[in-house]
Amino acid sequence: MAPIRVLVVDDSVVIRRLVSDLLQEDPDIEVVGTAVNGRAALHKVESLKPDLITMDIEMPEMNGIEAVRALRASGCTSPIIMFSTLTEQGAVATLDALAAGATDYVAKPANVGSVHRSMELVRESLIPRIKSLVPRTFLRPSAVVPTPRTLTSPRPSLATRTGSEGYRLLVIGSSTGGPEALHTLFTSLPLLPLPIAVVQHMPPVFTRQFAARLDRASAWEVTEVEHDQLVGPGQAAIAPGNYHLELVSTSRGFVAKLSQGPQENYCRPAVDVLFRSAAEAAGGAVLGVVLTGMGQDGERGADLITQRGGSVIAQDQATSVVWGMPGAVTNAGLAELVLPLPQIAPELVRRLARPSRIAVPEAVEVAR
C-alpha cells in the first residue's frame, strides 16, 4: 500500500525539519515536500498533489487561514491540519481556519520542558489524525481495526408519553470535524423546550471561544459551562477543555458537574462520561447524538442511554470527516437512526415536537 503523501507548510525552518523528520519515521507516511508560507504552498499543492497538508497559521506573505481559503477555492479537497497555539488568539485563528475549510488542528505543546518532549506530543496527536483522515489498509498489526463489540445488554420495554413527559435532555458528542458539524447543527436548530449538553474534544481556551461562536451564530444560549451551573431549556452547555462534564437531576433541573477525573478513551472531556450521567439523570428521556470524530468515545455511553430506553442518532459516514465515533455506535447496533448531517436538525425538531417514546420505569443497573 502506498504511503500517505504529506506536504508540510511552516515559515520556521526548524519546525519544518522537526515535523518532517517525525513524520518520516512512520513507514506509512511520506513527506513529499515543504513550503515556507501559504503562497508557496499553493504552488506545491498544484505540482505535488499531496494526500494531506499540515499548515501553520502565522506566516508571512500568505498566512494559513488565507491559504486554506485559496486552496478550497481552487478545488483542493485534501485534508488540511492546522498547527495552533494554546492561546486565545490561537483559538480564534484556529476556529477561523476550520470555518474556512481546514479539516482539523493540532495544538503546539507549551511549557513541556524540552524540544524532544514537544515533538513526542506532536507525534502522538498528529500521526493518528493523518491516518484517520487519509484511510489506508495497512498490513502491520498495530493498524488493524478491531472487530466491533457485540452489545447484548437487555433493553427496557417502551411506552409512549406526551408533552413534558417526553424527551427532557439532548446530549451531543463529537471530535474530528465536530466544530463545523456542530455549527451546522446549531444554526439549523430552532429553540426547543429542553437543554443541550455537548462534549467536543477540544483543549482549554478553545472551548470557550467555540461556545461564544455558537452563541453568536444560533438561537441558543451557548456557554462554556461552569461547575454547578443550572442548564435549562433553550440553553446549551459546552464542556470545558480538560474537564469531564456530568449532569445531575435536581429539583431545580439539570445541574452541571465538572471534574478532572481520569481520561476515558484517552479524552477529557469524554463523551462517555456525559452520556453515562445523562442516562442516570434522565433515564429514557434522553436523546443522544454522535457526530463525526476519531475513536470510539460515546459508544459505551450510548449503550447506557439505550438501556434506559432513550434514543441515539448517529451521523452517517458520507458526511462525517471521520466515521470513527458514529461508526462505532452504528456498528454496535446502538443507533436508532443514521443520518446525513443536514437531516439531523429536522429529525431533532420532529422528535421533540411530538410525543416521544421513553422507557417504562423499571430497575436498570448502570455501570459506574
C-alpha cell, 37: 508560507
Q: Report the alpha-carbon distance of residue 155 to residue 249 in Å, rounded.
A: 22
Cell 442518532 -> residue: 313
Query: Which of 104, 201, 244, 311 is labelled catalytic?
Result: 201
Closest C-alpha to 349, from 173, 178, 193, 213: 193
Q: Report the alpha-carbon distance of residue 334 to residue 120 in Å, rounded.
A: 36
Query: Which of 297, 303, 311, 356 is labelled catalytic?
Result: 297
Specify whether the CB–CB gap between 198 and 159 falls below 8 A: no
Alpha-helical runs (H) found in the chain: 13-24, 38-48, 64-73, 88-100, 115-133, 178-187, 206-217, 271-282, 299-307, 325-331, 341-352
Decide if 297 is catalytic.
Answer: yes
The neighbouring-strand residues paired with 238 are 198, 224
Q: Report the alpha-carbon distance of residue 215 to residue 236 in Å, rounded.
A: 9
Decide if 175 is catalytic.
Answer: yes
Q: Report the alpha-carbon distance of residue 153 to residue 34 in Å, rounded.
A: 51
Strands 253-259 and 244-250: antiparallel
| Amino acid at the residue 11 | D
Query: Which of 175, 218, 311, 320 is labelled catalytic?
Result: 175
Closest C-alpha to 293, from 143, 133, 151, 139: 133
- Residue numbers annotated as active site: 175, 201, 297
